[in-house]
Each structure stands twice: as structure tokens, then as C-alpha cells.
Amino acid sequence: MTQVIGTKTEVPTPIDEVVDDEVETAQLVVVANRLPVRPSSAKEGDGGWRPSPGGLVTALSSVLQESDGLWIGWPGASTDEPVPKEFEGIRLKSVEISPEEYEEFYLGFSNATLWPLYHDAIRAPTFHRHWWLAYQTVNRRYAEAAAQAVETNGTVWVHDYQLQLVPQMLRELRPDVKIGFFLHIPFPPAELFMQLPWRKEILQGLLGADLIGFQVHSNASNFSRLARRQLSATGHDGTLRYQGRDTTVGAFPISVDCDQLISLAQDPAILKRCDELRETLGNPQRVLLGCDRLDYTKGIQQRMKAVAELFAEGTLVPGKDVMVQVAVPSRESDSHYERERHELEQIVSEMNGEFGVVGSPVVHYLHQNLPYDELVALYLCGDVMLVTPFCDGMNLVAKEYVMCRTNLDGVLILSEFAGAAKELRGAFIVNPHDLEGVKEAIRTALKAGKKEVKSRMLRMRRQILRRNVFDWANLFLGALSGLSESPSPELSALADEVRD
Ligand code: G6P
């Protein structure tokens, strides 16, 4: 029988019964679905481990290295190689997920129930009771691993939608620790969240944390309103009181490693690669660029249709203008993702069939994982960057592109439904569902004078430079360690800044 989440245990388990002397422990423990390492692919062929791609690894590496912290997570693909105990100065502890749990916890509840529900129900979320059971089981495993690993009065920082029950489960096991939770994806409004049959349990799970961080203020408000309505929590948007405890709730917009991107963007080898890429593309006058995980939330098809119509009307000219679309493979065994790929590839081949000339396709489409250097070279090539998701927590591609444009050229077309749009006011902001609006924004961006392009880029760069990804991590951890009766001034200031 699965334990009901949120039910207080009668007597808390004594700490020394939970902490096993044999187990590695740390003052700071990060818990995320994935470890910061992944097994090398067959193509890489060295049988070793590589850093996982993604902002979270960058964000937390230095904090964990400095504090001798520990990262708990799942290594992803199965491999015969044991997960290393340490990788690039970060201690690792792996959590196993069985093939059935991969289906029910990862593909199922996490990515076919929560993912679509939290992204505006762009695809209909699926609700299965057995997926929910798997979600509880796996969350409990992570909570137990964290309870074992964290030292007395230590800190545990839990990440993302796959692990929303961990804060409450961990609190029951280890009432002595400070628990933070950060949601990287949007938190939906009540109208959508209320569909979830286990809505109360998820809210209770999250309220086990001392601090819950969201990307934008409206997401924090959605959560607070739901907690008051569904659980009769009291308090205002910044601090909620539930079952005799306070939980602080706020917006902490995630960022990028600005220094690293600036230095990569000025690296002679990467600049040379950018020149090579432009040459390979046929030295076009203008390169339009899209880089996304291949996900139905990213609005890739819609964007391609807008670009196709611009070729059809003559605003874009085959041979002179070219589009590069990188679509990183993701969750490929899910039918929605499979369909998304087929539909997108259909559109790309239609565009090339209709507008391409021999030797010059209008769209260069890459369905693959690219090394970071190559991605930066592409950012440097892209005169117009299209980031047009239907719904997105933040979207770090938009911020990465801006940080790479050290020459202050290049334009960003950005969806109003990406968290980044709250900060990057220098972008051309679009409604990605409005094809005419997207086309008009691209036309305007292409016509923009150098002065306007530069001033928009400067504005966006200044905004990102104000707070890099390390500030984000430190701000969150600082707020967590300094929690008192009222939220810290930094937290209030940050919340105000990103408020609509
Ligand atoms: C999003 C989520 C992350 C997730 C990533 C890749 O960015 O917020 O938690 O790790 O997608 O998805 P995957 O399912 O491959 O972990």
C-alpha cells in the first residue's frame, strides 16, 4: 500500500536511524531527476562519462564544488559502467530507475501527465493511477537517498516537476534540514492544475519545502492561490502558512554563465568555425536560426510555417536567406514527440522542395545533439534568432544567444509566453500562435537599422549581465539559509523586479 503523501508521521524517525555511517554525506545536497553526468554515446566511443548538457549543471557545479556538496540523480541511459563517485569535483550518488518506472514515472507521470498539464495543456495530459503510484514510489526513493546523505541541519535543494513530492517526504524523514525546491518549468493556473486528480498531494508535497522558487512571479502566484484554495493554507503570495509551518514562495529567474559565453564567443577557433559555417551555407546575406529541444511546446512547426510564407511572398529569397533549425532529440519513445518530429520533418522537406535550389536548401535541419562550441558558433552565425515557444518556463537559448552577441548585432524574436520575455524587453516580442504577427516581427527585425539593433541588444545584455547563473544559485541558497519570519529584502526585490 502506498503511503498517502502529506500525512504527518506520528513520531518523526530519529535522524541517526536515517543517516547511515557508511553513506557519503554532505552539508549541501542537490536532488534532481538527472545526474550531471551521462554515459558517453556509442559515437563518442570512449565508454566513459560526460557532463550532461544543460544550464542546471553549469549553475550548480561551482556551488557544489566549493561546498563539497553531493548531487543525487539518475544517470539516464543504462550502461555497464558504474556511475563515478565524483565527476569534475562534484560528488555523485545515483538513484536507480527500473524499466517499468522509466515507462510509468519518467515517460508517464512526469512527461505525459505533468509536462503537458504544466505547459498550457498544449497536448492533452494523460492521467493514470498506476503512473501516480510509480511517481510516489520514485519520489520516495529520492527522498530517502537525500535523507541518508544530508548532514544534520544541512540543506537539500530539490529540482523540477519530476520530484514535487520529495520536499514533504524528506521533511518527514529529516525535520532538521532546510529544504528548497525550484521549478524550472511553468506552474499552471488553477483552471488547468485543478484537472490533476492528485492536485492536493502535489501541493502538499511542495509545501514540505521552506522555500519554493519559480521562474516568474505569475507562476509563484498561481501556486500560492492554489495552496490557499485547495489546502486552506493562509498567508500572502510571499509566505504561506500550512500545518504550523511557513513556506516562502518567490520568483528566481534562472540565467546563464555570462563569462563563459562571452569568452566562447570571442574564441578564435569558434569564430573561425562560424566563418566556415557561413561559407558552407553558401555565404547567405541573412541566417535565421532556431535551436530547441524537439518538443511540442517549442512552437517549431508554427515558426517554420511563418518562414515558409516569407519565402513564398519574397521577403526571404532562396540562395540569399537561409534558415538553420537545430532540433535536439528528446523523449523519443513518447508518441507526441514522435509525431512532432514527423510533422516538422514534413514541413522542412516541403519548404526545401518548394523553395530550394540545387545546392542551396532554404532550411538546414539538424536532428541531433550538438557540442556546445558548435552551438555557440551557430549563435554567432544567426542574424535572426527565433525563440517562439507556446509556453516555456524561462528558455535559456534566448539568453545564451544574447550573451554571445558581443558585437551587439543580431536580433531576437521572442515568444511572449517564454519566461525570458519578462526580462528581455529588447527582443521583438511575438505571440507564437499568431502567424501574421510572427511574420510581421521577422519583417520588422530584418528592416531594423543598425542603431536600433544595437540598442535592443545592449538593453538585453545589460539585463542578463545583472544576474548570471551563479548569482541565481547563490540568491536562492542565500534566501533559503537566511529564512526568517519575513522574506529577505533580496527576495522581495527580485520578486518585485520580475512582477508583471
Ligand atoms: C526540461 C526540464 C528538465 C529536463 C530537460 C530535459 O528542461 O525542465 O528537468 O531535464 O527538459 O528533459 P529530459 O526528459 O531529457 O530530462
Q: Whose CA is nearest to atom 15 of ligand 1?
A: 330
Residue 467 has pLDDT above 80, yes or no: yes
Cα of 56 from ligand 1 centre, angstroms:
10
User: Which residue, 305, 273, 269, 303, is CA-closest to 289?
Assistant: 303
pTM of full prediction above 0.85 = yes
Q: What's the pLDDT at 8?
A: 30
Q: What's the whole-number mean pLDDT along residues 14-41?
A: 79
Q: What's the pLDDT at 77?
A: 73
Measure Cα distances from 268 to 197, 265, 466 in Å.
54, 8, 27
For 34, the enclosing helix (H) or strand (E) is: strand 26-34
User: Of all atoms in ligand 1, which is nearest to the CA of residue 106?
Assistant: 14
Q: Label residue 46 by pLDDT band (50, 70, 90).
A: confident
Cα of 186 from ligand 1 centre, angstroms:
13
Q: Residue 414 forms beta bridges with which residues?
A: 387, 429
Q: What's the pLDDT at 493?
A: 54
The predicted-structure confidence for 384-393, as pLDDT tens digits, reads as follows 999 999 999 9
The predicted-structure confidence for 141-152, as pLDDT tens digits, reads as follows 999 999 999 999
Instruction: Report the residue count for the chain.
Output: 500
The predicted-structure confidence for 355-385, as pLDDT tens digits, reads as follows 999 999 999 999 999 999 999 999 999 999 9
Q: What's the pLDDT at 43?
A: 74
Residue 279 has pLDDT above 70, yes or no: yes
Q: What's the pLDDT at 494?
A: 52
Mutation test residue for ligand 1: of 30, 107, 119, 160, the one with most atoms within 8 Å of CB: 160
Q: What's the whole-number mean pLDDT along residues 247-274?
A: 97
* Cα separation, 41 vs 313, whole angstroms: 43
Cα of 352 from ligand 1 centre, angstroms:
31
Cα of 111 from ligand 1 centre, angstroms:
9
User: Do 54 and 32 form a contact (C-beta atoms < 8 A)?
Assistant: no
Domains 15-254+470-499 and 258-466 share a fold: yes
Q: What's the pLDDT at 61?
A: 85
Q: What's the pLDDT at 4?
A: 29
* Cα separation, 208 vs 188, whole angstroms: 19
Q: Whose CA is nearest to atom 10 of ligand 1?
A: 34
Q: Label residue 22 by pLDDT band (50, 70, 90).
A: low
Q: What's the pLDDT at 497?
A: 52
Q: Whose CA is nearest to atom 6 of ligand 1?
A: 330
Cβ neighbours around 279 below 10 Å, total:
9
Residue 333 has pLDDT above 50, yes or no: yes
User: Of all atoms in ligand 1, which is nearest to the CA of residue 159?
Assistant: 9
Residue 181 has pLDDT above 70, yes or no: yes
Cα of 332 from ligand 1 centre, angstroms:
13
Residue 500 has pLDDT above 60, yes or no: no
Q: What's the whole-number mean pLDDT along residues 52-68?
A: 84
Cα of 331 from ligand 1 centre, angstroms:
9
Percentage of residues in the chain having pLDDT higher than 90 = 84
Q: What's the pLDDT at 165?
A: 99
Residue 498 has pLDDT above 60, yes or no: no
Q: What's the whole-number mean pLDDT along residues 278-301?
A: 97
Residue 60 has pLDDT above 80, yes or no: yes
Name the average pLDDT for the chain.
92
User: Of all atoms in ligand 1, which is nearest to the CA of residue 110?
Assistant: 14
Q: What's the pLDDT at 492?
A: 52
State the amino acid at position 72 in one-letter form.
I
Percentage of residues in the chain having pLDDT higher than 70 = 91
User: Of all atoms in ligand 1, which is nearest to the CA of residue 160?
Assistant: 9
User: Do 34 and 76 form a contact (C-beta atoms < 8 A)?
Assistant: yes
The predicted-structure confidence for 8-19, as pLDDT tens digits, reads as follows 333 444 445 454
Domain-wise residue ranges, the chain: 15-254+470-499, 258-466
* Cα separation, 19 vs 270, whole angstroms: 48
Q: What architecture (CATH level 2) is domain 258-466? A: 3-Layer(aba) Sandwich (3.40)
Quick one: residue 10, left, alpha or beta (phi over 0 = left, psi -120 to 50 = alpha)?
Answer: alpha
* Cα separation, 52 vs 55, whole angstroms: 9
* Cα separation, 183 vs 115, whole angstroms: 12
User: Of all atoms in ligand 1, which is nearest to the CA of residue 184?
Assistant: 8
Q: Which residue has the cell 557561413?
A: 278
CA Rg value for the chain: 23
Cα of 292 from ligand 1 centre, angstroms:
12
**Pocket-forming residues, ligand 1, beta carbon under 6 Å:** 33-34, 160, 184-185, 330-331
The predicted-structure confidence for 62-108, as pLDDT tens digits, reads as follows 889 989 999 999 998 767 788 999 998 899 999 999 999 999 999 99
Taking CA 344 as the corner, what is the angle to CA 338 and CA 350, rounded to the nearest 5 degrees? 135
Enumerate residues 6+ apart whose C-beta is below 8 A from 371: none
Residue 435 has pLDDT above 60, yes or no: yes
User: Do 384 and 287 form a contact (C-beta atoms < 8 A)?
Assistant: yes
What fold, for 15-254+470-499?
Rossmann fold (3.40.50)
Q: What's the whole-number mean pLDDT along residues 120-144?
A: 98
Instruction: Please tell me which residue, 236 or 150, carries the higher pLDDT value.
Output: 150
Q: Label residue 40 by pLDDT band (50, 70, 90).
A: confident
Q: What's the whole-number mean pLDDT along residues 166-180?
A: 98
User: Do 424 and 398 form a contact (C-beta atoms < 8 A)?
Assistant: yes
